[in-house]
Structure 1
Amino acid sequence: MVQKQRDFLICPACSLLYQDARSLPSPLEEQSRYELHRNDPGDKGYIKWLQSFIHRSVTPWYKGGRILDFGSGPRCVLSDLLKEKGFPVVSYDPFFAPQWPKEKDFSLILLCEVLEHINDPVNAFRRLHSLASQGSLLSLKTQFLTADPLDPESVTSFKKWWYKEDPTHIRFYNPRSLEILGERSGWELISQDGTSLAVYKKTASPEGSRS
Structure 2
Amino acid sequence: MQRGPLAGREYWYCPNCQLIHVPQRFLLDAVAEKAIYDLHENNPGDPGYRAFLSRLFTPLSALLPAGSQGLDFGCGPTPVLAEMFREIGVRCTTFDIYYDNEPTRLQQQYDFIVSTEVVEHLATPAKVFNQLLACLKPNALMGIMTQRWDSIERFKQWTYRNDPTHICFFHEQTFQWLAQKFGLQLTIYPRDVVIFQQSISG
TM-score when scaled to structure 2?
A: 0.87
Q: Which residue of 2 aligns with 1:119?
A: 123
Paired residues of 2:71 and 2:110 also in contact (CA < 8 A): yes
Tell me how far 1:13 sits from its aligned partner.
1.4
Q: Which residue of 2 aligns with 1:193?
A: 189
Does the C-alpha gap of structure 1 residues 7 and 189 become closer, same or farther in structure 2, counting only changes over 3 Å? farther
Query: Where in structure 2 are the equivalents of 1:1-211 lying within 5 Å?
Result: 3-5=5-7, 6-56=9-59, 58-64=60-66, 65-100=68-103, 101=105, 104-147=108-151, 149=152, 154=153, 157-184=154-181, 186=182, 188-193=184-189, 195-203=191-199
Tell me how far 1:189 sits from its aligned partner.
4.2
Equivalent position amino acid for 1:162 in 2: T
What SS class does the counterpart of residue 15 from structure 1 fall into?
coil
Equivalent position amino acid for 1:145 in 2: W
What SS class does the counterpart of residue 115 from structure 2 fall into?
strand
What SS class does the counterpart of residue 72 from structure 1 fall into?
coil
RMSD: 2.0
Tell me how far 1:98 sits from its aligned partner.
0.5
For residues 179 and 102 of structure 1, the distance between their equivalents in structure 2, rounded to whole angstroms, comes to: 25
CA deviation string 1:106-150 (max 9, x = no partner): 011101111111111111111112211111111111111122x3x
For residues 164 and 106 of structure 2, the distance between their equivalents in structure 1, rounded to whole angstroms, comes to: 31
For residues 62 and 21 of structure 2, the distance between their equivalents in structure 1, rounded to whole angstroms, comes to: 31
Paired residues of 1:122 and 1:181 also in contact (CA < 8 A): no
Does the C-alpha gap of structure 1 residues 72 and 33 become closer, same or farther in structure 2, counting only changes over 3 Å? same
Q: Which residue of 2 aligns with 1:208?
A: none
- What count of residue pairs does the alignment treat as equivalent? 195
What SS class does the counterpart of residue 148 from structure 2 fall into?
coil
Stretches (4+) displaced over 6 A: none
Farther off after superposition, 85-94 or 157-166: 157-166
Paired residues of 1:187 and 1:200 also in contact (CA < 8 A): no
Tell me how far 1:160 sits from its aligned partner.
2.1
TM-score when scaled to structure 1?
A: 0.84
Equivalent position amino acid for 1:165 in 2: N
Identity %: 26
Tell me how far 1:173 sits from its aligned partner.
1.0
CA deviation string 1:29-85 (max 9, x = no partner): 1111111111112323112222343113x2232123211101000111111122122
